[in-house]
């Protein structure tokens, strides 16, 4: 069985179809892996830490898909949430990588060592 970590970096404040397309395709990929019985986790990092607050709103076009993969969300980069002023919206804060001057970010090295393929959107 494969293991995949999907990292969402896109910026919802851009308000562009491209940004929405990136997060939608990230969630759709997670949905595909989940439905195929593959191990998958979703992480929100960088400006992508702003997405959960938007996706949790029932009127957002990605809300249904977000809900369908909510059980696969690992969490939000703590340091990035601080820098980008995002609301983690009740999600776990990830602090595996103790980057100086931050409260911590996800560790890509840890993900790789744990056998995850990493896909960024």
Q: Tell me the three state secondary structure of residue 81.
A: helix
Domain 3-120 coded CATH 3.40.1260: yes
* Nearest alpha-carbon partner for 15 in 54, 52, 71, 58: 54
Express each pLDDT in 45-75 by its tens digit. 999 999 999 999 999 999 999 999 999 999 9
Count CB atoms within 10 A of the CB of residue 92.
12
Assign 89 a pLDDT band (cuts: 50, 70, 90): confident
Q: Give me the residue label for tokens 């992508």.
A: 48
Q: Give me the residue label for tokens 């830490």.
A: 49
């Amino acid at each position: 069985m494969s293991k995949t970590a999907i990292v969402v970096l896109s910026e919802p404040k851009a308000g562009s179809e491209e940004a929405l397309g990136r997060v939608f395709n990230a969630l759709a990929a997670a949905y595909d892996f989940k439905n195929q019985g593959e191990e998958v986790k979703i992480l929100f990092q960088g400006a992508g830490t702003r997405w959960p607050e938007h996706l949790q709103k029932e009127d957002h076009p990605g809300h249904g898909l977000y809900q369908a993969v909510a059980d696969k969300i690992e969490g939000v980069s703590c340091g990035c949430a601080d820098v980008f002023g995002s609301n983690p919206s009740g999600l776990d804060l990830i602090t595996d990588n103790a980057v100086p001057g931050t409260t911590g970010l996800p560790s890509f090295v840890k993900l790789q060592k744990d056998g995850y393929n990493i896909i960024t959107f």
